[in-house]
Amino acid sequence: MNMLEEKVLGIIEKNSRVSTREVAIVLGTQEIEIINALQSLEEKGIICGYHTMIDWDKTDIEKVTALIEVRVTPQRGKGFDEIAERIYKYPEVNSVYLISGGYDLLVTLEGRSLKEVSSFVSSKLSTLDTVISTATHFILKKYKDHGTIMARKEEDQRELITP
C-alpha cells in the first residue's frame, strides 16, 4: 500500500460519502489518482464495503445487539477456522473474532428482540458439535461505535473572532 492509498483510507474511513473530487483536492492530487487508488484498494480487498453508521436507538425500530462468548474445541488441522465459518455464515451474525484469553470466539449478533437472539443461541449456536459453552451479553447502550461517539456533538463554542 502506498502513501496516497493510506491517506485515502484515512479520509474515507471517517466519511465514505466524500466525493473523489474532494479527496483529490484535499490531498493535492488528480481525481483520476483517487479513482485508481480506490479501485486498487477494492481489488485487494482492503476496502471491504462502504457502510453507514446508524444509531438505531434513535429510531422506533426495535433492535438488540448481543456479544456472545463462545468456547469451542479446535479441530485438528483446521484450528478454529471451520467452526468460525459455520458461525459467520448465519446472516444474523454481525462479526466473529478469534480472541485470546478466557474463551475462543467473540460473536456479535443483531436481532429484533431478546427472544430472537436467545433462540438463535440456544437452537443454533449451542447445538454445534464443537461448541463447549456460550455466554451471552446484551448491549444496553452504545456510547461509541466504530470510533464515533453517539452523543450529539457540542456546538462550536469558540469566540467568533479571535486574533
Partner 1 sequence: MSKQEKLLAEKTVGLKPSGIRKFFDLVSEMKDAISLGVGEPDFDTPWHIRDEGIYSLEKGRTFYTSNSGLKELREEIAAYMKRTQGIVYDPVGEILITVGGSEAIDLMFRAMINEGDEVLIPEPSYVSYVPCTILADGVPVTIPLKNENEFRLKPEELKAAITPRSKILVLPYPNNPTGAVMEKDDLEAIVDIIIENDLYVLSDEIYGELTYSGKHVSIASFPGMKERTVLVNGFSKAYAMTGWRMGYACGPREILAQMTKIHQYAIMCAPTTSQYAAIEALKNGDGDVAEMRESYNQRRRFVMHSLAEMGLPCFEPQGAFYVFPCIKEFGMSSEDFAARLLTEEKVAIVPGTAFGDSGEGYLRISYAYSIENLRAALGRLSKFVKRLRGEN
Q: With binding defined as CB under 8 A, does residue 48 bind partner 1?
A: no
Position among 13, 19, 26, 63 found at the interface with partner 1 (CB under 8 A)? 26
Select 43 or 156, whichever has its Cβ closest to partner 1: 156
Q: Which is nearer to partner 1, 10 or 79 (CB)?
A: 10
Q: Shortest distance, CB of residue 160 to partner 1, whole angstroms?
A: 4
- Cell matching residue 74: 479446535
| Number of neighbours of residue 125 by Cβ within 10 angstroms | 20
Could you write out the DSSP letters of every residue in 74-99? PBTTTBTHHHHHHHHTSTTEEEEEE-
C-alpha 29/C-alpha 27 separation (Å) is: 6
> Is 144 near partner 1 (CB under 8 A)?
no
**Closest approach of Cβ 14 to partner 1, in Å?**
10
Q: Report in angstroms the alpha-carbon separations of 90 from 22, 67, 72, 136.
A: 38, 15, 17, 17
Binding site for partner 1 (CB under 8 A): 7, 10-11, 22, 25-28, 156, 158-163
